Amino acid sequence: MELKRTLRVFYLRKLRDREFLVRMLIIMGFLAFMTILIPRSAKLGYIHEVGKPWLRESVRSEVEFHLYKSPDQFSAEIDSARASVLPILEYDSTQIDLAIERFQKVVQTFRSNLIELRKVGSSANPKLQDSIKQHYFLEQLDYLDPLKLPEGVDWISNITGRAPYIISRLGKQGYLGSLPVTSAEFVWVRINPSEEIQVPLSSIVLGKDQLGRWLEKQSIGLTQSESRVLGILLAKSIEPTLTYSDQLTQQAKQDKENWVSRVQENGKVNKGATIVQKGDIVTEEISEKLDAMVKEARAQGGKQPRGVTTGRVFLIFLLTMLLLTFLRVNRPRIFFSNQKIALVLTTILLVVAAMVVATKLNDVAYDLLNQNDKFNLTYIFLAPACIVPIFMNNFFDHRVAFFTNLIVAFYGAVLVQQGLEYAFVQLVAGTVAVYSLRRLRKREVFFYTLGFIFLGYTVAFITFNLYSKGNLDAVNFNTLLLFGVNVLLTIIAYNLIYLFEQVFRVTSDLTYLELLDTNHPLLKDLAKKAPGTFQHSLQVANIAEAVVNEIGGNALLIHVGALYHDIGKMAHPRYFIENLQDDLTRDNPHDKLSCMESADMIIGHVAKGISMAQRYHLPRELVHFIETHHGTTRVEFFYRKHLKEKNCKTSEDEDLFRYPGPLPFSKETAVLMMADSVEAASRSLKSPTIESLNDLVDKIVDHKIADDQLLNSPLTFRDISVIRDVLKRQLHTIYHGRIEYPKATEETTPLYGGVFGK
């Protein structure tokens, strides 16, 4: 029966509450997206740090896997394998026969030109003689002087007979025109597609210089001139029999490279083998085995250790519940606002998505940068996670910003798997962001914050690595480049704030900064039409901000709210005492009205203020200040006058003299109510003293409490005590020049100053 009754109550109170159902839908959607978003990796169960003890249960391999070589080791073996490949030359045997044929033609041309030259010489034709000598012998035969050659042409047959032997011998030894620079002592010569032989590079005739010297050695038994002619004619006839093949050489290097294994020698780990036992210190070898096991588990279809999937879901659930519990207990106005809770969860979801994308860059960068350890960075630092505390600080307050930054750091550390280092660095950077934005009064403060964020990231990163690795040499300073990109990406937060305001209908501090400008049309009209009210609003803004700074709260919000809280008085400014510059006994508009009509006129400024605020599209948060700054208090002056006229102590018409409310519901709205009443009442003191000002503050605060005006506010007894002290201190400062010393005669100050305007 009790269970049935509980379910019935839950159905009536919750399941029929549309706001509750929408809120649950938002939360469930967030959990679903996070579960899909976070990588389904077995590594979740094996997060560890080298040098630290393994505190969980012993780990046995659930798959067979191999240990892989480090990038440096693998790269060195690749280089060594490629360097071990000898150059490959291709042999062309047809060049021998072709060379003999070319030699015969060259010799025939030589004989003809020599005979022709001697005939011309005998005819004493010097011009024709010089022409033949110049164009053939000097230019084509290496400046050979035909006049120094032996008489006749019979000697040509002598050198011609030697040529086939020399050419054949050169073909067997091998003649190579050119070869890329190499330190190899041997080369491979491909005789045919199925046969290669290895020969010393020194045994091959390489280049024309070596060819000339080699030919000279083959001319033994010939005269000097005959030897030179033979060498010149052979050089003109012989083409290389060997050719360097870059294609075959590169293919051989690639084949050799393919044989280099990424797996370590004797690095096989069998299924069921113990990887690490509870209490063991995690060494580099153990860390390598854990990572290799995770990689192999992924390769085998994403196989995970038992319970990892369930654990991942519960991690997301617990972190989300931790955040929601904080908001439910400390910031119920956020928790029970679907727009605000959606804004918080959406911001976190987008940042975690950026983290996941950033971690995917690890593999991409590894391949693009040729496995260079110098650039083996933790790319999750690219994700602009400080957007979360910046957003929360701008839309809500610094406490929400601190806590959401903590949740984001946990997501990065646990779910995106970057361990303690990321959590520590992000906590420091996020805290710096929140602290630097705590007193946002100018837009440029946001850009100063970006510099502080970069400094926070840098100092935290170096500090953590110095602690964990022991020296600065082990710190990868290239990570600072990631911090720089991170900060640049964070600038988008400045542009997204306006978009989030429109989508979630929540106002940020940046919008409050714009409304703080006294050139806003509403404030300009207020200063023109109701100058006394405008000055009163300025004073209340300063007093209220000083109070909120002491008890904690959004000082910027209350300052802006105080500036606009009395804009409704512009409709009938002279019905409010602060706007009457002459004596109240003359031209007082209330003299022509009954007490009820005067009270109605005074109370009406709240409704008119709400109407003006809506017409000028002021944020809802500012409308709250207009609605609540009088709560449900009475217009005391006219109520007492009404009782005096009726000659009674109470009246059935009391509700006509009360503001419609609602009551203040936050620290800021409650403080504004008290600051507004205190500032207005203090104006009625003609000769203020410290005692009269203190007494005035105490009476007003006590009356607010007694009249249940603070019933819905979250103010504590300590807050009330601090508020009293700050209000007194502010009044002492305002009336410092008018306070009478020594103690003046105490005035009887009517509640709320005895003025008809409050």
Least confident stretch, 417-421, 488-492, 550-554, 573-577 = 417-421
Q: Is pLDDT of 277 > 60?
A: yes
Helix (H, G, I), strand (E, B) or coil at 594: coil
CB 161 within 8 A of CB 227: no
Task: State mean pLDDT over 146-150.
Answer: 65
Pair 355, 412: CB distance under 8 Å: yes
**Whole-prediction pTM:** 0.61
Q: What percent of the chain has pLDDT over 70?
A: 80
Nearest to 294 by CA among 319, 269, 318: 269
Domain 516-754 carries which CATH code?
1.10.3210
C-alpha radius of gyration, the chain, whole number: 48
pLDDT at 750: 40
CA–CA distances in Å: residue 105 to residues 100, 109, 112, 545, 608: 9, 6, 11, 109, 117
In angstroms, the CA 570 to CA 575 distance is: 10
Token pair recorded at residue 418: 């970057």
Residue-level pLDDT at 377 = 61
Highest mean pLDDT among 131-140, 629-638, 744-753: 629-638
The pLDDT tens digits for 157-202 are: 777 888 888 888 888 888 888 888 888 889 999 988 888 899 998 8
Q: How far apart are CA 645 and CA 756, in angstroms?
A: 16
Residue 584 has pLDDT above 60, yes or no: no
Instruction: Look at the block and give the residue holding tokens 């679907």.
Output: 338
Q: Is residue 748's pLDDT more than 70?
A: no
pLDDT digits 0-9 by tens, 676-713:
999 988 888 878 888 999 999 999 999 999 999 999 99
Q: Where are the domain boundaries for CATH 1.10.3210 in the chain?
A: 516-754
HEC assignment per residue over 599-644: HHHHHHHHHHHHHHHHHCCCCHHHHHHHHHCCCCCECHHHHHHHHH
